[in-house]
Structure 1
Amino acid sequence: MSSDRAFFADWRSRPGGSRRSLDRARSLHRLIGLTGASVPVLTVVGSKGKGTAATYASAFLAATGARVVTVTSPGLRSNRERIRVDGAAISAAELEALGERISRGLQQLPGRDELPGHLAPAGLFTAAGVLHAKAAGADYLVLEAGMGGGSDEVSLFPPNVAAMTEIFAEHVGVLGDTVVEIAQEKARVISGTTAAVLSLPQQPAVQEAIQDFVSQRANLRVDVLDTRDGTLPSELLPPSYGRWNAELGCSAAARLLSLLGRELPDPGKLRQVLESVKLPGRLSRHFVPGSKTEIYMDSAISGAGVATALRMVRRNWDHIDHVLVCLPDHKDVEGAVLELAGYPVTFVRLSDPHFSFTRSLPENWAVVEEDKVTPAFLSGLGEHVLSLGTVFFSGRMLNVLNAPTERLFTA
């Protein structure tokens, strides 16, 4: 077993009804010699915008001249992109070595009769990223939580600073039965050693639940970012809602530096680094190779996200020829349907078995499998095509377009 296969092995062999197990993760960590993070940790949790916040936090820290390892999920075009050093994906050889170390640990794990449950791929990439941070001589580690918080392996590496993006009712019935329960689960990433918690404005009940938990767990007040007046020039940040996720990441990084008694980045250097940030798949624009077709791509997963993407597109295009949509059942399919009324739409279904596509769709929407989405297919949809859906789908689209994703910023 080698390369990225090791990261999916335990998950693929899980029995029916198996649940993600932090006890199993702890056991594996001991077997591979992972005793915790060796450097300060900044962790990002939330329902949407975590990747943007983690990228900008990493860029802010890297602007000080420090080495920063970032772990996000999923990758865009490659699983190497789940682990980055100063914005750049690790090499194939580095991922191979990490996979071999994970594989050796898996072979020594007790059987499921003794240690039930399974290891999520995202959690194994988190473990690999923490290992790589030590090997690479990192100064900081930025972790993006996967679906949860307390149930996610990032919770095994207590953060010095936690940043919380907007939390809404996603994964109901998995993380909790209400948005408040989901918020509480995500807040469980915070430990008694966490020194600061920053958050975007939340729904009142969600904000109250987060504050209650943080007060009990870490005796802290949650610092809520004031989105009425940003602290960084708008030209250095992504457009629309992405700006506040980026502001959150930068604010959390600044707080981490302050808590550690370290200097903030030089303003000129910070501008240079932030100007270099690229966020493929998040309101990004691309051309289909060999054609005049332009793709505007966004990882919108809700009606509100779709509405925002449409609004941003209209600032640059006078019309939209076609819209591609890929939303599994657990996303806001109904909201997307409402917002896209009147547009020609093709719905794309992914082949991954852990995604379900059973929701009712408008009769006038075309439906295709992902293998049908090729450059020739895209160029046949017109010159202005909007692509919307999960980060997984954006990654597939970026691959079809052969878009550069190896580096997110230059320090």
Structure 2
Amino acid sequence: MVTDGTGAFFAEWDRRGPGAERSVERAGLLAHALETGTTGIPVLTVVGSKGKGTAATYASATLAAAGCRVVTVTSPALRRERERIRVNGTAISDADLTRLGARIREAVRYLPERRSGEGYLSPSGLFTIAGVLHARAVGADAIVLEAGMGGVSDEVRLFPPDVVAMTEVFAEHLGVLGDSPAEIAVDKAGVTAATTSAVVSLPQTPPVTEAIAATVADRTAGRLKPEVIGASDLPEAVLPAAHGRRNAELGRAAAERLLDAAGRRRPSPGRLHRVLSSVRLPGRLSWHRLPGTTILLDSAIDRTGAATALAEARRHWDDIDHVLVCLPDHKDIAGVIDELAGLPVTYVRLPEYRHLRFTHPLPPHWTVMDDGELTRERLASLGERVVGLGTVYFIARLLDLLNADTERLFEV
């Protein structure tokens, strides 16, 4: 997925030492040097454990339907790194990415020299800063930021949000963001700023609900209470399948709150429905074809996600010929193994991602391979009906292998 112009975004990541962590503080110095902190552009930030990309896409589509020029920053990329930054759903050009990389590289030269053991500038954080730079360059009316992992611990905190959208928070990144879902929720909700006008959330478990409410109250001196998004009033035809519907509705609701705060009119129902019905989400219950083979891809990382993807496959097929799955150790491998019982499975490792471990015990009948062994011919040989599940890095690998169209996510 590497293209020309991305070297500046990965320079410190590539040179990081064992156990090194990203430095949001160092990213803050860079953002200050680039004068990105006061753009005057309304910001909508999406945080949560899963479904952030869907929420960010539908928020962006809603804003675009209202006539806004919206810059969206998501992570990681689908096929090409320039897809991390989009204008009205369309990836920026290679030339734009090169220009942004040059500005990042030049500004980094003036930062204090990074000493051994100190935190590095993370790629996702640098793309976030670059996205804000691009928004200013193109005269954007709104910015939608998808947090990488956390909230207050993520570089998105450098850009105080006018609206925060919270997808479901669960036990993802335990021991990193917190030791319980409630502690993780505190980190994610901590992105809320004193100037935030609305926090909208999907329904959460009681401990997570309490943690979000307390954090938002603390960050806004008691001024704000999170708003829980209920059932959608949108036609089913304009929403994605399964759990994606809730995240899509969250994105739409958050975008409407941003429009209200900015004093802009919401889109008419007809225009909103037209734009939302054009949304494409590659790698999220998306269908693809090779000669003689149909493939369903989904970035499922736990038992529930795997069950949802298998149910969607069985809505269309009498049987599933093969499943490709790629989950590092910190995902819910045990739950996914249970869901895949009785199915032919190939487990795929990603050796190039040194920060991911693939050592969890697997069923003895599973085939194991590295992603470098995957080819279009290998995929086609697995049968007529194939399901691909796993981390977004793996799904991106399959999208690239299938030459999927990831350039534009919706039409305005």
Contact 1:24–1:115 under 8 Å retained in 2: no
Give, as a single letter, the amino acid of the residue that structure 1 aligns with 2:164. A
CA distance in 2, matches of 1:274, 1:52: 12
Pick from 183, 186, 205 the counterpart of residue 184 of structure 1: 186
Distance 1:151 1:14 in 2: 19
**How many residues are treated as equivalent by the alignment?**
407
TM-score (norm 2): 0.97
Q: Distance in 2 between matches of 1:356 and 1:106?
A: 31
Partner of 2:109, secondary structure, is: helix
1:354 Cα shift?
A: 1.6
CA distance in 1, matches of 2:90, 2:4: 22
Is 2:381 the counterpart of 1:377?
Answer: no
Which residue, out of 123, 126, 144, partners 2:125? 123
Alignment correspondent of 1:312: 312
Deviation string for 1:182-231 (max 9, x for gaps)?
Answer: 110111111111110000011110111100111111121110111xx312
Q: Say if 1:239 and 1:304 are closer, same or farther in 2 by CA, change over 3 A.
A: same
Asked whether the 8 Å contact 2:59–2:255 carries over to 1, the reply is: yes
Q: Which amino acid aligns with 1:222?
A: P
Matched, 1:221 2:225: yes
**Whole-Å separation in 2 of the counterparts to 1:362 and 1:36:** 53
Cα deviations across residues 222-245 of structure 1 (Å, max 9, x unaligned)?
A: 10111xx31211110001100000
The residue type equivalent to 1:100 in the other structure is A
Per the alignment, do residues 2 and 283 of structure 1 end up closer, same or farther by CA in structure 2, a change over 3 Å counting?
closer
How far the C-alpha of 1:36 sits from its partner, in A, is: 3.4
- Tell me how far 1:372 sits from its aligned partner: 1.2
CA RMSD across the alignment: 1.4
Amino acid across the alignment from 1:386: V
Give the match for residue 64 of structure 1: 66
2:100 corresponds to which residue?
98
Aligned to 2:12: 10
1:17 Cα offset (Å):
3.1
User: Is the alpha carbon distance of 1:32 and 1:2 closer, same or farther for their aligned partners in structure 2, counting shifts above 3 Å?
Assistant: farther
Q: How many Å apart are 1:293 and its aligned residue?
A: 0.3
Distance 2:67 2:164 in 1: 22
Q: Aligned pair in 2 of structure 1 residues 30, 2: CA closer, same or farther (>3 Å)?
A: farther
- What is the CA distance between 1:271 and its match in structure 2? 1.4
Measure how far apart 1:113 and its partner are: 4.0
- Among 183, 192, 195, the alignment partner of 1:193 is 195
Contact 1:60 1:265 in 2 (8 A): yes
Give the deviation of 1:317 after TM superposition.
Answer: 0.9
> Are the structure 2 counterparts of residues 358 and 54 from structure 1 closer, same or farther at C-alpha, using a change threshold of 3 Å?
same
Residue 273 of structure 1 pairs with residue 275 of structure 2: yes
Is the Cα–Cα contact under 8 Å of residues 2 and 100 in structure 1 kept in the other structure? Answer: no
In structure 1, the residue corresponding to 2:361 is in which secondary structure?
A: coil
Cα pair distance change 1:82/1:254, threshold 3 Å: same
Write out per-residue CA displacement over residues 112-138 of structure 1, whole angstroms, 9 at most, x where no aligned residue.
Answer: 249931111100000000000000110
Q: Which whole-Å CA distance do the structure 2 matches of 1:212 and 1:17 have between them?
A: 32
Whole-Å separation in 1 of the counterparts to 2:155 and 2:16? 17
Counterpart of 1:52 in structure 2: which amino acid? T
What secondary structure is seen at the aligned counterpart in 2 of 1:3?
Answer: coil
Contact 2:162–2:196 (CA under 8 A) maintained in structure 1: yes
Which letter maps to 2:97?
L
How far off is 1:34 after superposition?
2.4
1:343 aligns with 2:343: yes
Contact residue 123 and residue 152 of structure 1 kept, 8 A: yes
Task: Give unpaired runs (5+ residues) of structure 1.
Answer: none
Maintained 8 Å contact 2:20/2:117? no
Q: What is the distance in 2 between the residues matched to 1:177 and 1:277?
A: 36
Q: Hey, what's the Cα distance between the residues in 1 that align with 2:160 and 2:378?
A: 46
Q: Distance in 2 between matches of 1:410 and 1:331?
A: 34
Question: Match of 2:301?
Answer: 301
What is the CA–CA distance in structure 1 between the aligned matches of 2:47 and 2:205, rounded to whole Å?
Answer: 16
- In 1, the alpha carbon distance for the partners of 2:115 and 2:394 equals 36
The residue that corresponds to 2:405 in the other structure is 404
Percent identity of equivalent pairs: 58
TM-score normalized with structure 1 length: 0.97
Kindly provide the amino acid, as one letter, of the partner of residue 381 in structure 1: L
Q: Does 1:161 align with 2:158?
A: no
| 8 Å Cα contact 2:17/2:117 also seen in 1 | no
- Please give the secondary structure, in 1, of the residue aligned with 2:286: strand
Gap runs ≥5 in structure 2: none
Asked whether the 8 Å contact 1:2–1:99 carries over to 2, the reply is no
The answer (yes or no) to whether the contact 2:59–2:252 under 8 Å persists in 1 is yes
Q: 1:324 aligns to what? A: 324
- The 3-state SS of whatever aligns with 1:381 is coil
Structure 1 residue matching 2:347: 3-state secondary structure: strand
Task: Give SS of 1:182's match.
Answer: helix
